[in-house]
Structure 1
Amino acid sequence: MSAHPENRAGLWVALASFVLWGLMPLYWHLLKVVPSLQIVAHRVIWSTLLVVAWLLWKQGRGWLRAALAQPRAAWMLALSGALIGFNWSLYIWAVNAGHVVESSLGYFINPLLNVVLGVAFLHERLRRAQWIAVALATAGVIWLTVQFGQPPWIAICLALSFALYGLLRKLVAIDAVGGLGVESVYLFLPALAVMVWGEAQGAGGFLPLGGAPGWGLGVDLLLVFGGALTALPLIGFAFAVRRVPLSVVGLLQYIAPTLQFLTGVFVFHEAFDRDRLIGFVFIWIGLAIFAIDGALRARRTGVTPVAAASEA
């Protein structure tokens, strides 16, 4: 697969995208001085400008009209935009509130929750190995709930919002970057209103626009560049998924939550005792079964890059 130059480029771009996603907690932690809602507002504003500029360059001024001409695209992308906005907000708050490990759990659970939603909404059928994987992950979540007296709400909400986002995007026939562009346009004005409101109330400090002392030029630049870090991995993923088999992408996706988990434990020194380890081990075993089953099935059926792109 990787012998072909285009496939090799796709593999490296996919790897870079997942590594960037995995190291995001380190970046958002640099912005800890900024309120989480303001970080999200800036993330939306600057990523919107970048993504829309990209689409104008690649597709011309008619890209938005063409995207919204798809059946059901207008309201479904508005809903998926709301879900991804909620996901970003919860994730950034969790990272800066010391919940990186639990956040990583959400993205470990996410692939298995995607399977469950496929059964519930798309009438897909699970193979025996997939049922076992889902059962093990469920056992892990139940264990964590019993041990700590409440469900891991951050992980569950992150996994559920992202899985529902993926379901909606699967039902809309639009490419990843074009869909993100429409979602960004929907979110832009609310994000701009949040930023302006924050500046007016003294909760902001960008440049500073509202007369507050400001966060400093370094933080301002990090906020702006955060938009690029939002858009670039997704653009890279869209590039890579058309060139790399789905079985490979499926295995690479675990790089991001693994790096998030390692960051939480070894960089931010978050608590990870034996009880948490037991719950995670159930989920990791389930993921291993899920990934191995997917790789074996892809090998038997001979998934091509084109099929990978359409399924992803």
Structure 2
Amino acid sequence: WGFYAFFKKSLPIGPNQGFLLEVLILLVPALAYLGWLSSIGENHFLDSPRNAWMLIGTGAVTAVPLILYANGAKGLQLSTIGILQYIAPTMIFLIAVFAFGEVFGPARAIAFPMIWAALAIYSYSLLRTRKQNRQK
């Protein structure tokens, strides 16, 4: 994700045009894969209208957050984007533990707080540096 964020931020085109470029690049292998599945008789994506609409719907559900991310990434510093990218895995981890009863062993009990402590220290130093730069 770090490289993706850097790539998105450094492109000399707008976020929506960049997203369109990504989709067009990935369209070729996706269509080739669907064609290959059809050729071997395993294309269950398009065997009924319901499945076809579900495939189209998953594309739309995936596209909306990516477009929002692309538009937001242009206005943020890479360090901020990096910190924000810890939110989704943390939420997945918390849902796994509290909603699905995932085992929270000793290794995780040590690693999880250490990761967030490191993020807190980094965020604090980043904010402190920004505050000092504004005062100059």
* Structures share fold, TM-score greater than 0.5: yes
Q: Does 1:184 align with 2:16?
A: no
* Unmatched tracts of structure 1, length 5 or more: 1-161, 209-213, 303-312
Q: Write the distance in 2 (CA, Å) between the matches of 1:165 and 1:240.
A: 13
Of residues 108, 113, 135 in structure 2, which corresponds to 1:281? 113
Shift of 1:252: 4.8
- 1:279 CA drift (Å): 2.0
Structure 2 residue ranges without an equivalent (≥5) = none
Structure 2 partner of 1:173: 12
Secondary structure class of the residue paired with 1:258: helix
- In the alignment, the residues of structure 1 paired with residue 23 and residue 37 of structure 2 have an alpha-carbon distance, to the nearest angstrom, of 20
Kindly state the Cα deviation for residue 179 of structure 1 after the two structures are TM-superposed. Answer: 1.7
Amino acid at match of 1:260: I
2:108 and 2:119 map into 1 onto residues whose CA distance is 17
TM-superposed CA distance for 1:277, in Å, is 2.2
Which of residues 186, 204, 228 in structure 1 aligns to 2:60? 228
1:174-225 residue CA offsets vs partner (Å, 9 max, x unmatched): 33322222122111111111112123323331240xxxxx6x82x5433322
- Percent identity between matched residues is 35
Q: Is the counterpart of residue 164 in structure 1 residue 3 in structure 2? A: yes
Q: Report the Cα distance in structure 1 between the residues aligned to 2:66 and 2:54, rounded to whole angstroms.
A: 19
Determine if contact 1:250/1:291 at 8 Å carries over to the other structure. Answer: no
CA RMSD of aligned residues (A): 3.1
Structure 1 residue 251: Cα displacement: 5.8
CA deviations on 1:60-96 (whole Å, 9 max, x unpaired) are xxxxxxxxxxxxxxxxxxxxxxxxxxxxxxxxxxxxx
Contact preservation (8 Å) 1:206, 1:220: yes
Counterpart for residue 261 of structure 1: 93
Q: How does 1:73-84 map to 2 (within 5 A)?
A: none
Q: Residues 207 and 220 of structure 1 are in contact (CA less than 8 Å); yes or no, is this contact kept in structure 2?
A: yes
- The higher-RCO structure (CA 8 Å, 6+ apart) is 1
Distance (whole Å) between structure 1 residues aligned to residue 127 and residue 22 of structure 2: 32
In the alignment, the residues of structure 1 paired with residue 54 and residue 99 of structure 2 have an alpha-carbon distance, to the nearest angstrom, of 20
Aligned residues: 133
CA distance in 2, matches of 1:264, 1:293: 31
Query: What residue in structure 2 maps to residue 291 of structure 1?
Result: 123
Counterpart residue identity of residue 27, structure 2: F
- Structure 2 length-normalised TM: 0.71
Match of 2:40 in 1: 201
**Per the alignment, in what secondary structure is the counterpart of residue 104 of structure 2?**
coil
